[in-house]
Chain A
Amino acid sequence: MNKFSYVVKNTILNMRRTPLLVFATIIAVLVSSFLVFTTLSARSIVQNNTLRWQNGTHVVVFLDDRVTTTAHKQLQESLESYSEVRTVDYFTKAEAEDEFRALFKDQPDLLSEVDYEKLPSSLRVNLNNPSDYELIIERMDGNPAVKEIRTSGEAIERLLSLTDTLVVSASAFALLVGFAAFILIINTLRLAAYSKKKEIKIMRLVGASSTYIRLPFIFEAIFESLIGTSIAVGLGWGIIEYSKNSIVAESIFDITISDSYLIYLTLVLLLSSIVFGLFASFVGIRKVLND
């Protein structure tokens, strides 16, 4: 029997000694990894969506129908002169109609009932920093050429703030569950090591190296950690794929997340789980093997 098969055989034997603890450990790692994977993915999705909005229109200044071409040009020039403004585009009534028809193409009843004459022309403002939308509102306030001002800035800020809160709370919870997993791995390994105390003593007497004695325990910790993380990552991928086609995704925003980011996240989590297992095994059996 070579050394590798000895280590593998003993890893399996160790795990069979305490199946319930092993199961609990895998579940704890799974929950922790799943929380990390899903919250980081969710944050990326929100960032992708908000980024798209941020690159688009931040403030829409609807113009009064009575406004003259000269007046709207003056207003556009005035907006363009502000340092916070990146670009200003004039949107005619005809373009507003085209946009409306495109947006509600699936609702013919609505399209047939709308009085397109009432759709106003507008100035679409793109800001360098979307959070400056309030400055624009202040400056346009009371201008007779302005009918109404709408902004997406506030919604973006709320969404980003909500996402950040979600990421922080989920990360804290993941950390807590991760710590529980860490304790469980340590206990599982210690139980296995205590039950093999005589065997370990004999191994030391015949000259087996410390690393060789530790390897089955290290393998066990890494294996449990990897299994939990792999299932969590698999579930995470499944949920993202499902969400891409769900009603929620269609009605709120696109589940836009790049495969390269998901692969990166998966690799980081799997690598972390190996480091996690290594560290847990180091802490778990250090004292037992030094006795």
Chain B
Amino acid sequence: MINLNNVSLVFQGGSVALSNITTSINEGEFVYLVGHSGSGKSSFLKLLYKEYISTKGEIEVAGLNVVELPKWKTPLLRRNLGIVTQEPQLLENRNTYENISFALEVMGIKAEEIESKTNTLLDLVELNENAFKFPNQLSGGEQTRVSIARAIANNPLILLCDEPTGNLDPDLSVQIVSLLEKINRAGTTVVMATHDSSIVNRRKKRVIELSNGKIVRDDEQGRYILR
């Protein structure tokens, strides 16, 4: 599902974000991407959805050669992906329902389908009662759940989450991870960047650890080893 072969990313000015990364993530896997701030977790994810362009190496995501994919075809890649950022990036002038349905609207889905699908997503993220609340009326955890619902609205093959629990307390973080596991069980491959050791250690999933832009550990059912 995701293949990286000898991938490096060097920013203008020479700072190295990622260096010779080689790894594979299979269909249906749940992978934690761990490491300290600045270790390259976000850059890793941004390469996968072509927000950044690698300096060298090969990247294949959902059957597409990301490096050679022309810029105008980037939307094709992203339609296979769900992207959740640390900041939920919700539209302040739209309520929960509208924030979720927005992703369907812009893909040109029919109104009836949008309604049924949005209601299903509201069920999934347990936000039915908050459907008509605006982002400033929601807690941090609820906002993250809206952002996850929006990310999976178009049935992506892969869900990329960049520190979705970064601003949440431990209880809420657990709720979010449980939700992501539920999505994973339905068949979606999930890659979640985090520096929250308690979550990683409790869940016993595959862990890829980055340090200074290099993979320093790749463990099945791994733990977050505090260094």
A contacts, CB < 8 Å to B:
1-3, 6, 198-199, 201-210, 212
Contact = CB atoms under 8 A, between A and B. Distances in A.
B102 A208 contact: no
Interface residues of B, number: 26
B72 A210 contact: yes
Contacts of B108: 1-3, 6
A210 B72 CA distance: 7
B89 A201 contact: yes
B180 interface: no
Nearest to A209: B75
Contact of A210 (B75, B81, B91): B75
Contacts of A2: 108, 110
A1 B91 contact: no
B89 A203 contact: no
B78 A205 contact: yes
Contacts of B106: 6, 203, 206, 208, 212
Interface in B70-108: 72, 75-81, 83, 89, 91, 102-103, 105-108
A209 B78 CA distance: 10
A207 B105 contact: no
29 contacts: A1-B105, A1-B109, A1-B110, A1-B111, A1-B114, A2-B110, A3-B108, A6-B106, A198-B89, A198-B91, A199-B91, A199-B102, A202-B102, A205-B83, A205-B89, A206-B78, A206-B83, A206-B103, A206-B106, A206-B107, A206-B153, A206-B154, A207-B75, A207-B76, A207-B107, A207-B154, A208-B106, A209-B72, A212-B106
B150 interface: yes
Report the 6 A-B pairs with minimum CB-CB distance, sorted nearest first: A207-B78, A207-B79, A3-B108, A207-B75, A208-B106, A206-B103
A204 B102 contact: no
A37 to B, nearest CB: 38
Contacts of B151: 205-206
A152 B49 CA distance: 77
Contacts of A208: 75, 106-107
Contacts, number: 57
A291 to B, nearest CB: 12
A208 B105 CA distance: 10
Contacts of B72: 209-210
A206 B78 CA distance: 6
A212 B107 CA distance: 9
B150 A206 contact: yes
A203 B89 CA distance: 11
B49 to A, nearest CB: 8
Given A204-B78, A210-B72, 10 more contacts: A2-B110, A198-B91, A205-B83, A205-B89, A206-B78, A207-B75, A207-B79, A207-B81, A209-B72, A209-B75
A136 B200 CA distance: 106
B51 to A, nearest CB: 9
A196 to B, nearest CB: 9
Contacts of B78: 204-207
A1 B98 CA distance: 13
Nearest to A6: B105
Nearest to A2: B108
Contacts of B76: 207
Nearest to B102: A202
Nearest to A205: B83
Nearest to A199: B91
Instruction: Tell which of A2, A6, A198, A206 has the most Cβ of chain B within 10 Å.
Output: A206
